[in-house]
Amino acid sequence: MAANQCQLNYKMSDKEIKVPNIGEFKDVEVIEVLVSNGQPVSINDPLITIESDKSSVEIPASFNGKVKSVKIKVGDRVSEGDLILTVEQSEEEEKNIEQKTIKEEEPAANKDQVEKVAKINQTQNLIKKDNSEASSASPKVRKFARELGVNINEIIGSERRGRIVEDDVKNFISSTINKASDKTEAQPKKIVSEFSHSDFGEIEVKDMPRVKKLASTYLANSWTTIPHVTNHDEADITEMEDFRTSLTDMYTGERKKITPLAFIVKALVASLKKFPSFNSSIDDIENGKITMKNYFHVGIAVDTPHGLMVPKIRNADNKSISYISNELKTVSDQCRNLKIDKKEFFGGSMTITSLGGIGGSFFTPIINYPEVAILGVGKAQKKQILINGKFETRTMLPLSLSYDHRIIDGAEAARFNNDLKENLGKNFAYKLAI
């Protein structure tokens, strides 16, 4: 029966204990009544246990005294404000409790403060208890919480009947820190040196190039938000290079100058078609949604005096290698002369960054957000490779594939690299449209 329907005239020494603010709990079932009429109780002794679809919670006593009348039974449904029981208390006990409360609560929270805290707690989907309640926990756990500066009444226990253990305290602290960090942008810690650069000699302060300044924000975001993994491998491009250097113009007979990067773009597109997860973006990680792209716009990292720029070769799947080679020269010149549209830096499928013209082999390229992978290409070298029991001189191209581990796993990355190697090898090079 509803407890608030049983309103009687009690003596001044009778105290009512009602269901406190229990967050989202409304009309919840009483599954245990832990006290009986005439039983002495102390503050924080559990009186009843209530249970919702999500969890169960004990309601403790807020006064010392003797239970005079229990107003609810197992199976009743209660909400905030419903009467649980009445406690008979002597005037001396009442006076001692009032004095103790005044000493312990300096200053006492006013009504507005209590309501404000209750609203905050409800938004966090946590069941909080008012200032007169305490959670069920051992003295050791309570001491542990105090030492860490945690109010144990704010913690929901994971053990039977909501009992709190040390792991609950640790998890509460961890979740609090995570929630605080989610509300603010991650800012790199600023390290202040004890000395100035000028303390050690002459210096010159220059403005950071605008392009590098803009890129630094995107790079920092990519590195801190994407779990990077890099797969290193080598592709045998001996036949591809022989084929590329043998190409001639059918009208003039002159040798056609086609950059190896054009072949790599075409081979990459073929692998993207076979492994569509590499041509995606994670735009809604909270709801587990990814965007699958049906276009093939390959980004090319271009080294310019102003900094690194990444224009896109649009619809590379519909363009010949000769056309891609010419377009690479065009967009590179536009970047160096700052005559390229800003929109051309966005909407990519995957990026290629090549150090082949400079030198070096393997490295760990940073993914160009919101893409999920980037291919780093090193300088091709001739190596002795064991083939069918004999060493042969082969042209080997270093490949460094960085990928977002949230959507791509190591096995899939290895398969992607194997497919790309095959596309660049003798089984694919001659099939590419020139």
Q: Which fold has domain 3-107?
A: OB fold (Dihydrolipoamide Acetyltransferase, E2P) (2.40.50)
Judge whether residue 8 has pLDDT over 70.
no
The per-residue DSSP string of 49-109 comes to EEE-SS-EEEEEPSS-EEEEEE---TT-EE-TT-EEEEEE--HHHHHHHHHHHHHH-SSPP
Quick one: what percent of the chain has pLDDT higher than 90?
35
> In the chain, where are the structural domains located?
3-107, 211-431
**Average pLDDT of the residues of the chain:** 80
Judge whether residue 26 has pLDDT over 80.
no
Please tell me whether residue 41 adopts helix, strand or coil conformation.
strand
> Torsion-angle region of residue 238: left (phi > 0), alpha (psi -120 to 50) or beta?
alpha
Model confidence pLDDT, tens digit, residues 200-242: 888 888 888 877 887 888 888 888 889 999 999 999 999 999 9
In sequence order, the β-bridge partners of residue 280 are 292
Cα–Cα distance for residue pair 50/80, rounded to 1 Å: 12
User: Which pLDDT belongs to residue 6?
Assistant: 42
Dihedrals phi, psi of 127, to nearest 5 degrees? -90, 110
User: Which pLDDT belongs to residue 401?
Assistant: 97
In sequence order, the β-bridge partners of residue 87 are 15, 67
What is the value of pTM for the model shown? 0.56
pLDDT interval class at 139 (50, 70, 90): low
pLDDT interval class at 12 (50, 70, 90): very low
Model confidence pLDDT, tens digit, residues 370-382: 999 999 999 999 9
Lowest-confidence segment of 60-74, 130-144, 279-293, 352-366 by average pLDDT: 130-144
User: Which pLDDT belongs to residue 102?
Assistant: 42
Residues 6 or more apart in contact with residue 140 via CB below 8 angstroms: none
State the DSSP H helix or E strand holding residue 5, giving kind and residue range, or none if neither.
Answer: none
Please tell me whether residue 352 adopts helix, strand or coil conformation.
strand
Handedness of CA 222, 227, 232, 238 (dihedral sign): negative
pLDDT interval class at 135 (50, 70, 90): low
Q: Which residues are catalytic?
A: 405
Model confidence pLDDT, tens digit, residues 163-203: 888 888 888 887 777 666 555 555 556 677 778 888 888 88
pLDDT interval class at 413 (50, 70, 90): very high
Q: What angle do CA 354, 405, 218 make, to 5 degrees?
A: 55
User: Which pLDDT belongs to residue 296?
Assistant: 97
User: Which pLDDT belongs to residue 179?
Assistant: 65
User: Which pLDDT belongs to residue 419?
Assistant: 95
User: Which pLDDT belongs to residue 164?
Assistant: 87
Where is pLDDT greater, at 141 or 394? Answer: 394
Q: Is the domain 211-431 a CATH 3.40.50.300 member?
A: no
User: Which pLDDT belongs to residue 432?
Assistant: 57
Alpha-helical segments (H) within 275-409: 321-336
Lowest-confidence segment of 46-55, 201-210, 232-241, 347-356 by average pLDDT: 46-55
Please tell me whether residue 110 adopts helix, strand or coil conformation.
coil
Model confidence pLDDT, tens digit, residues 68-110: 888 888 888 888 888 988 888 766 555 555 454 444 444 444 4
Please check whether the two domains, 3-107 and 211-431, share a CATH topology. Answer: no
Instruction: Please identify which residue in the block is written with the tokens 């049983």.
Output: 6
* DSSP state for residue 406 in the 8-state scheme: T
Q: Which of 57-61, 129-133, 264-268 is the most confident on average?
A: 264-268
Torsion angle defined by CA atoms of residues 4, 8, 10 and 14, in that order, rounded to the nearest 10 degrees? -30
Cα–Cα distance for residue pair 25/57, rounded to 1 Å: 10
Q: What angle do CA 284, 402, 210 make, to 5 degrees?
A: 80
Judge whether residue 350 has pLDDT over 90.
yes
Lowest-confidence segment of 20-34, 126-140, 200-214, 244-258 by average pLDDT: 126-140
pLDDT interval class at 249 (50, 70, 90): confident
Q: Is 107 exposed, middle or buried (0-12, 13-18, 19+ CB in 10 A)?
A: exposed
